[in-house]
Structure 1
Amino acid sequence: MTTNWQRFFTADRPLAVRRGRGPGDRSLIVVESEDGPRLSLWDAGSGTVRPLGGLTSGDLAQAVLSHDGEHILALHDDNGSEVGHLHTTGLDGGDSRDLTPDLPPYTLRGIDVAGRADRAVITCAAEDGFSLWLLSTDGSADPEPLFRSPHEAWNGLVSADGTRACVDTTDHNPGIRRFAVTVVDTATGQVLDRLTDGPEAPVRGVRFSPVPGDDRILVATERTGFARPCVWHPTRGTRIDVEAPHVRGDLVPLDWSEDATRILAVHVDGGIHRVMEADLESGALRLLDHPPGAYFEPDVADTLCHQWASHYGPGRTLRLLHQRFDSPLRVLHADGPDSAPVPQLFPQLDLDGVRCTSTAVRSADGTHVQLWWARPRHAKGPVPLVLQLHGGPNLVTVDRYDPAAQAWLDNGVAYAALNYRGSVTFGRRFREGFMPAIGDRELEDIEAAVHRLVADGVADPDKVFVTGASYGGFLSLLSMGRLPGLFAGALAHVPMADWLAGYEDMNPALRAAWSSFFRAKPEDGLERFVRASPITYVADVVAPVWINQGTHDTRTAPKQVRLYEEALRAAGGDVVVDWYSGGHETTGRAKALAEQSRMLDLVHAALRQRPWSQGPL
């Protein structure tokens, strides 16, 4: 079958629009270019977009603007290892400076810039634990430690005037990822207060009030088991909770208006996004006018809480970042809650893609899991299918543009993406439902999804493939050994194949996370790590396996992939490993297109019953 599927990868594609915290109305645009993320500066006041061509180093996908809007703050690491130092770099790529030269290398787990002061805070994970640091963004003052803990602490935030900071902490509940928000005085480092809803209900910081002198914090609570916005005033010890008893599912707070009177939130029900605004003065919660699609994408375990998210503009204006499986990101502008949003930035590209449908699937124990799926155009009867599993596990597949999905569909292969247990935006019970028996519940969800797609006549039962990156890659490999015969092949990107070997080599932030998820360290819960490891089941693998692995990955380190490859080959398995120079993620259109071409070739080979280890057709 000959198609022009490459068209879905060819255009520069916006990945995020991130408004600066400082005066004026400047935003950083992250675009996926031919060879990786590239940045542009959008000055909404003048309507100009300026490419920042001189910036070629650092983790540009997670970069933010400095207070004055004249510098970029980004982690500089070794070839994508995610371990390094925060640098400030001029918009032209010059005057780069290490802001923490005396600190040991760290993994960045939070960055926030004060709106009305030359201050920023970063949250670091290193061998000695977690720490929150106050920085001068021009490098004129030495970094100051504000908080330290041996327990997980992420997502540091700073007030508009730089006098207060907060960080999500687990000191009240060590070893369990249910955060409280701890507030500190940036002048003294003194802990002022902590907001916790008890050991069962986490609280996470979203943003300090944008009004200077106002130390209220917008947080997300889960007292009901589902996310709800809350405004906490630590100085007064008061809070305003947006209860929303009529709303089923998560109501995720994203931002608040410049005058701090309104909250922007997204209601997620069965994966479907509905944008809402809460008026803090009247208590009213109203649904906003907007087209169907996704309006934010959580990234709760990284430098920023969201890969991209809708937010407020000046005054009461709204900037709704919108995309769908068949439509790349664009910015919609609304003058207020009563105004219909209109396109403001990026045209809606017509690439003749296919939209996905959301379906609830009943898993083995009765739990409902959400599944996105689509048939190729003009498909009649069951066809080959690729099941995509997201990473994390505390991430989620939203209705966002996916060139890989469109490429599969354009080649006559059905596509599905499963939000298995462990996914976020479906409530606390669902998010934590994969622990501590890592892999067990997820495999039940995967098996149920495949059976549903087969029963509905979407997928040919003998031609279903599984793919995913990171935790999704791990689940792809685990499915090969524990669900033999369900899949015709696995396409695993940067997977965890051996938890014992991988734990030794992963960065400190990840070790803390996984000891929390397993509810044990390897020396205390060896059987859990062994049971969850795909390498344990290589003798049962009957379908071909392809692994795409980075040489400098500190999340799913190279050694454990080599061990799995050797073990599977020794067991007689059909396995191929492709190595690339880099870390946990490949970036750039060229690499993405090459990987998609490789996967298409492998699937076509499997359909012709040609072993993958024999090489190209």
Structure 2
Amino acid sequence: MSSEKNDVPAWEQRFRAARVSLPEWADDAPERSLYVSNASGTFEVYAWDRTAGTHRQVTDRPSGTTDASLTPDGEWVWWFDDTAGDEYGVWRRQPFAGGPDQPAVPGLAPSYEAGLALGRDGTVVVGRSTDEDGTTLHLLRPGASEPVEIYRHAEYGGVGDLSHDSALLAVDHTEHGDAMHSAIRVLRCADGEPVAELDDVTGRQAPSGLACLGFAPVDGDSRLLVAHQRRGRWEPMLWDPLTGVETELLLRTEDGRELPGDVSAQWFPDATALLVEHEFEARSELFGYTLATGTLTRLPTPRGTVAGATARPDGTVEFLWSCAAEPSAVRSTAGTVVLRAPGSVPPRSVPVEDVWVEGPGGRVHALVQRPEGPGPYPTVFEIHGGPTHHDSDSFAAGPAAWLDHGFAVVRVNYRGSTGYGQAWTDALRERVGLIELEDIGAVRAWAVASGLADPERLVLSGGSWGGYLTLLGLGTQPGDWSLGLAAVPVADYLTAYADEMEALKSLDRTLFGGTPEEVPERWRASSPLTYVEQVRAPVYLSAGLNDPRCPIRQIENYVARLEQLGVPHEVYRYEAGHGSLVVDERIKQLRLEIDFARRYLKV
């Protein structure tokens, strides 16, 4: 039997199958929800009326839309409007039931987005970031014609949260100059004056980070839920900025065990309990934590990865779950699938195996997937971006496509990755790029020695920071890799710094301990362009023409050197920013990468 779908290979079906994000719901109208889906062929924002059972596409732009939020009363959808993926734009709003878009905050010029808070009384706080002004936060009160500036600083920061009564504003900031470890300041919205400060960086020999997780969602409660790293990993605590009282949350399982790994939390709607999200060794699980009794109860979630969760007013929890073998769906602790994208379910893929390899900085965790048939296999080392991120046991169409083409896939949670403690993440600052490649190299050696990987057909691949590590690895480990695939990479770090958005400049200054003028030797040692003369393997690069994170000029500099040196390479440039939100474009890019690898490796 033949059909159009049967003519489409499984790897492409996975990309074309519609997906949905975890729905956000309006605080005072919980039957009104918002989510992002690629059902139209481009990732766009959708409004979902749960009572009526209707779904409506809110945005429709050639480059796609993902940043959106609902007002607490559920009457308005806010969405961020940039130009062709350049991340530089303004907020617009549209009635939940449909209607024309309108400027959401009159008087604000375009900028990079630095957070948004929508209050129950109509108060709005918009965060902006520009090269000229740094971070500015703007407050718009109900009935006011224009917003007023309530915060400004040259270093990067952003909107944390508005209190339930819109009297207080929490700000995540890096005024101390360490962009990897934020502090929190609470301002009084009436006059912008500081109320309290929580800072675990200034004056400390071992700085640690803080993050705002949200004010208590009930009247008369000024407590702020905060994430901290005071014990070497992310954990939640309560802080009342009006009284200064900090309440440590001792999270223990029913048998008395402490949760390893990183822990985050959010409020249940009545503020009597917390929804706890636990990440450990590339997987995650959910717990409920009753504040009055200190009781931690595991919620029923399958083994795999929870990519987001939210507690509903009826006490149930909705979560977006998947594993490497099984596609994602929005599930409920009530035992139901709450939301699944329309159309057919994408084909399943191969489960991951956990591998631990001794590296120079400790045990390195890698996720391995094998295709059918005996090895050794041509192998793709798919390197994650971030860099403060991690690969997980979750469904991903990209790795599954390589498996379908007979490649093994290895993903490495190198030093710099999250989920393995603060020391593992912060090690990134020691020798930027080079330290990650030491861990990747250790796993590569294991893959060859174990018989998994064919040493003559080893692909180093990644996007964003993973693309940067790909180019850096091809130059610093030239004998280890047969081919490189770098998507939206940092290729010439000094030029990238000159052209990138201000928020990333702040992060880079932290990583390197100064600007290129202050510590030029560190920047040169970590730039792929420094080692381009040593590159032996064929290189494939793809770049977004409007990318503010890994701008096009620095990639062109690297490509020009490849041409001068006669290194085999191909370059694909496309009209978008830091990656594409268009399904056809994503398929095209991966097809080009697979074709490049098969031609040069003779697979």
**So what's the TM-score if we normalise by structure 1?**
0.90
Cα RMSD for the two superposed structures: 2.2
Which of 515, 521, 526 lines up with 2:520 in the alignment?
526
> Is contact 1:370-1:420 (8 Å) kept?
yes
Q: Does 1:39 align with 2:48?
A: no
1:398 to partner: Cα distance: 2.3
What is the aligned partner in structure 1 of residue 298 from structure 2? 287
Q: Does 1:117 align with 2:121?
A: yes
What is the aligned partner in structure 2 of residue 354 from structure 1? 350
Point out the more displaced range, 436-445 or 151-160: 151-160
1:271 to partner: Cα distance: 1.5
Structure 1, residues 87-125: CA drift from partner, whole Å, max 9, x if none? 2233466432333443343211222322x2212323221
Point out the more displaced range, 247-256 or 599-608: 247-256
What is the aligned partner in structure 2 of residue 464 from structure 1? 458
What is the aligned partner in structure 1 of residue 330 from structure 2? 331
Structure 2: how far apart are the matches of 1:543 and 1:238? Answer: 58
What is the aligned partner in structure 2 of residue 510 from structure 1? 504
What is the aligned partner in structure 2 of residue 375 from structure 1? 370
Aligned length: 585
Report the secondary structure of 2:20's partner residue: strand
> Is contact 2:25-2:34 (8 Å) kept?
yes
1:562 to partner: Cα distance: 0.5
What is the aligned partner in structure 1 of residue 230 from structure 2? 223
What is the aligned partner in structure 2 of residue 607 from structure 1? 601
> Is contact 1:262-1:278 (8 Å) kept?
yes
Structure 2: how far apart are the matches of 1:22 and 1:454? Answer: 56
Give the partner amino acid of 1:312. Answer: A
1:349 to partner: Cα distance: 3.2
Report the secondary structure of 1:593's partner residue: helix
Point out the more displaced range, 52-61 or 282-291: 52-61
Structure 2: how far apart are the matches of 1:562 and 1:55? Answer: 32
What is the aligned partner in structure 1 of residue 317 from structure 2? 318
> Is contact 2:319-2:330 (8 Å) kept?
yes
Structure 1, residues 520-578: CA drift from partner, whole Å, max 9, x if none? 11110111111111111111001011111011111111100110000122122112111
Report the secondary structure of 1:310's partner residue: strand
Point out the more displaced range, 158-167 or 12-21: 12-21
> Is contact 2:215-2:225 (8 Å) kept?
yes
Point out the more displaced range, 324-333 or 544-553: 324-333
> Is contact 2:459-2:481 (8 Å) kept?
yes
Structure 2: how far apart are the matches of 1:473 and 1:270? Answer: 23
Give the partner amino acid of 1:310. Answer: A
Map of 1:154-553 to 2, 5 A cutoff? 154-171=158-175, 173-198=176-201, 199=204, 200-244=207-251, 246-296=257-307, 309-335=308-334, 341-346=335-340, 349=345, 351-365=347-361, 367-376=362-371, 378-553=372-547
Structure 1: how far apart are the matches of 2:272 and 2:467? Answer: 43
> Is contact 2:379-2:410 (8 Å) kept?
yes
1:369 to partner: Cα distance: 2.4
Structure 1, residues 42-90: CA drift from partner, whole Å, max 9, x if none? 233x261412255437862121112332322222222111112222233
What is the aligned partner in structure 2 of residue 614 from structure 1? none
Structure 2: how far apart are the matches of 1:92 and 1:276? Answer: 35
Give the partner amino acid of 1:188. Answer: D
What is the aligned partner in structure 1 of residue 4 from structure 2? none
Map of 1:47-126 to 2, 5 A cutoff? 48-52=53-57, 55-56=60-61, 60-91=65-96, 94-114=99-119, 116-126=120-130
Structure 1, residues 334-359: CA drift from partner, whole Å, max 9, x if none? 25xxxxx3322217936132122232
Report the secondary structure of 1:393's partner residue: coil
What is the aligned partner in structure 2 of residue 153 from structure 1? 157
What is the aligned partner in structure 2 of residue 10 from structure 1? 16
Point out the more displaced range, 566-575 or 148-157: 148-157
Structure 1, residues 362-419: CA drift from partner, whole Å, max 9, x if none? 2123x2222111101x321211111111111112222222111111111111112222
Structure 2: how far apart are the matches of 1:217 and 1:204? Answer: 10
Structure 1: how far apart are the matches of 2:190 and 2:62? Answer: 33
Report the secondary structure of 1:559's partner residue: helix
Distance 1:276 1:96, change over 3 A: same
Give the partner amino acid of 2:324. Answer: F
1:488 to partner: Cα distance: 1.3
Structure 2: how far apart are the matches of 1:58 and 1:382? Answer: 40
1:281 to partner: Cα distance: 0.8
Point out the more displaced range, 384-393 or 324-333: 324-333
Structure 1, residues 488-529: CA drift from partner, whole Å, max 9, x if none? 111111100011111111111111111111111111011111
Give the partner amino acid of 1:52. Answer: Q
Structure 1: how far apart are the matches of 2:126 and 2:58? Answer: 26
What is the aligned partner in structure 1 of residue 583 from structure 2? 589
Structure 2: how far apart are the matches of 1:404 and 1:47? Answer: 36
Distance 1:461 1:124, change over 3 A: same
Structure 2: how far apart are the matches of 1:254 and 1:321? Answer: 16
Give the partner amino acid of 2:359. Answer: S
Q: Does 1:20 align with 2:26?
A: yes
Distance 1:383 1:141, change over 3 A: same
Structure 1, residues 200-241: CA drift from partner, whole Å, max 9, x if none? 221110111111332211111111101111121111211222
Structure 2: how far apart are the matches of 1:78 and 1:139? Answer: 30
Q: Unpaired segments of 5 or more residues in structure 2?
A: 1-7
